[in-house]
Amino acid sequence: MEKKKNIIIISIVAFLLTFLIIQTNKKYTKKIVKKKVEKTDYPRFDIPKKIVKKYSYIVKKGDTIAKILQNFDFDNNYVHKFIEKIKDKYDLKNLRVGAELSLNIKKNKITFFKYQIKRDKFLQAFLNKDKKSYDIEIKTMPYTIKNAVVTGVIENSLFGAILKSGEKPYLADKMAKLYDYDIDFNRDLRKGDSFSLFVEKLYLKGKFRDYGNIQAAIFVNKGKEIKIFRYKDPSNVVSLYHANGKAVKKMFLKCPLPFMRITSRYGMRHHPLLKFSRRHNGIDLGAPRGTKVRSTASGTIVAMGRSRGKGKYIIVRHRNKYRTHYYHLSGFRRGIKKGARVSQGELIAYVGSTGLSTGPHLHYGVEKNRKYINPLSLKSPSIKPLNKEYLEDFNRYRMAMTLLLKPGLALNRGYSWEFPFKKEVFLED
């Protein structure tokens, strides 16, 4: 019995000792934790005093600089003052859709502002130490130019041939513009036609950005070679010439629309809406609504408006008693009005289906001495040829370029090859 009592007493003492040890340890632990917190240099949930918030934004249609900045909780007065400070160097009134805009904000002030004016040009503004004015500069990044030979064979379209060669589709637009006076890509293109180009390719920070000038080109259309050379003469005048030294530029472009199909030709036809035959004083070019319409020659707008048959229309007067007609338009380019001067190739309107029309298309007509003529058979007057004193120098250049382009035509397949050498340039505005 006494033995049992001793065991109980020992157990109680052991329990009390254990309890005391645990309590002592807890107090010690608390002291350590407290000490560690006191040694910390910054308390929890404390916000650093110097905060710079960085933002970037892509400009959308309808955006204004005031509207964008107001979204960052700046009041109208601050926004107005900021725009005025930048205005001396660059007017932010008309922002470019797709351009990137960056800014840093500190203590509810713009400390840094950057706007992409063009791909290679941007505006920068840094807040000065006085916190009132800005150091503003416009910087331009140099493009790296590489020359390339691009060749192709037409199977279905010029776009298809360009894509098959490994190049971007908009090179087709550039090439079509080069041959605006010689080839109508609506009706002249044939399967098996081929081409070879010597073209500049522009790179920015190592990435391909665009095509520069086509320096030389050979297009074989229906078995006939049409050569074009971009030549800078000794007097520093740059122009486009054919192999014989005649200027590429003529009074009229072949067509006011690129890559469109002819839906109705010049002459007598059965009108689809009026249901009787009548003379068609032009050609109809099928195209999607909104397609850009160019003036085929320089001149003055002598009439524009809307009528029941023509719909929205423009008539342009040119030299040598020529006139061109553009009917069934969806709208006119902003700023275009009667009496305005327009340049060859200038955008004047957009394809539509106004007036007596069964679908979106452009009616294009040409007059000479107040009599309509077939636009497809128009022989456009030439512009001044190359100065004879430069002909020898031009021929040397022409032969060198031809040697570069001919091998590609002989292969009769599409490919693109870049020359290893390159140069850096700042492009002109």
Do residues 369 and 407 share a domain?
no
Give the per-residue pLDDT at 1.
53
Residue 19 located in a structural domain:
no
pLDDT score of 294 more than 90: yes
Domain at 225, CATH number:
3.10.450.350
Residue 18 located in a structural domain:
no
Do residues 114 and 185 share a domain?
no
pLDDT score of 28 more than 50: no
Do residues 269 and 220 share a domain?
no
pLDDT score of 32 more than 50: no
Do residues 266 and 373 share a domain?
yes
pLDDT score of 180 more than 90: no
Domain at 323, CATH number:
2.70.70.10
Residue 21 located in a structural domain:
no
List C-alpha distances in Å: 405 to 27, 122, 137, 253, 411: 91, 37, 43, 26, 11
Residues pairing with 105 in the sheet: 53, 110
Average pLDDT over residues 167-183: 91
Do residues 121 and 176 share a domain?
no
Q: Annotate 288-315 with DSSP letters as a single string.
A: -TT-EEE-SS-EEEEEEEEETTTEEEEE
Do residues 388 and 244 share a domain?
yes
Give the per-residue pLDDT at 57.
87
Ranges 24-38, 73-87, 225-239, 245-259, most confident:
225-239
List C-alpha distances in Å: 417 to 178, 200, 201: 21, 11, 11
| Single-letter amino acid code for the residue at 423 | K
Do residues 216 and 162 share a domain?
yes
Long-range Cβ contact pairs of 108-117 (< 8 A, separation 24 or more) = 108/73, 108/74, 110/69, 110/74, 110/82, 111/52, 113/82, 113/86, 115/90, 117/90
Expressed as residue numbers, the domain containing 73 is 53-140
Give the per-residue pLDDT at 62.
86
* Residue range 207-224, pLDDT digits in tens: 998 999 999 999 999 899
| Confidence bin at 40 (pLDDT 50/70/90) | very low
Nearest by Cα to 96 from 117, 82, 69, 71? 117
pLDDT score of 407 more than 50: yes
Give the per-residue pLDDT at 44.
36
pLDDT score of 45 more than 50: no
pLDDT score of 157 more than 80: yes
Average pLDDT over residues 31-48: 37
Give the per-residue pLDDT at 49.
43
d(CA 241, CA 263): 33
Residue 171 located in a structural domain:
yes
pLDDT score of 270 more than 50: no
| Confidence bin at 15 (pLDDT 50/70/90) | low
| Confidence bin at 300 (pLDDT 50/70/90) | very high
Do residues 198 and 343 share a domain?
no
Give the per-residue pLDDT at 144.
92
Residue 327 located in a structural domain:
yes
Average pLDDT over residues 21-32: 45
Residue 289 located in a structural domain:
yes
Give the per-residue pLDDT at 259.
60
Give the per-residue pLDDT at 12.
57
Give the per-residue pLDDT at 412.
80
Residue 46 located in a structural domain:
no
3-state SS assignment for residue 211: strand
Do residues 153 and 84 share a domain?
no
Residue that terminates a domain, selected from 140, 165, 192? 140
Average pLDDT over residues 56-78: 86
Give the per-residue pLDDT at 65.
87
Question: Using an 8 Å Cβ cutoff, are 150 and 416 in contact?
Answer: yes
d(CA 158, CA 188): 12
Do residues 319 and 306 share a domain?
yes
Residue that terminates a domain, selected from 125, 140, 155? 140
CA torsion sign, 83 to 88 to 89 to 91? positive
Give the per-residue pLDDT at 149.
95
Which segments of 119-222 are extended strands (E)?
Answer: 121-127, 134-140, 143-153, 194-204, 207-221
Residue that terminates a domain, selected from 140, 174, 196? 140
d(CA 258, CA 222): 19
Across 139-153, 226-240, 250-264, 389-403, least confident range:
250-264
Give the per-residue pLDDT at 272.
55
Residue 15 located in a structural domain:
no
- Burial-class residue 283 by CB neighbours within 10 Å (0-12, 13-18, 19+): buried
d(CA 211, CA 199): 7
The reported pTM is: 0.64
Greater confidence (87 vs 167) lies with: 167
Average pLDDT over residues 217-238: 93
- Burial-class residue 253 by CB neighbours within 10 Å (0-12, 13-18, 19+): buried
Give the per-residue pLDDT at 384.
80
Mean pLDDT taken over the chain: 82
Give the per-residue pLDDT at 150.
96
pLDDT score of 429 more than 80: no
Query: How many domains is the chain built from?
Result: 3
Average pLDDT over residues 329-335: 93
Do residues 361 and 392 share a domain?
no
Ranges 132-141, 348-357, 382-391, most confident:
348-357
d(CA 121, CA 277): 58
Average pLDDT over residues 64-84: 85
Do residues 313 and 359 share a domain?
yes
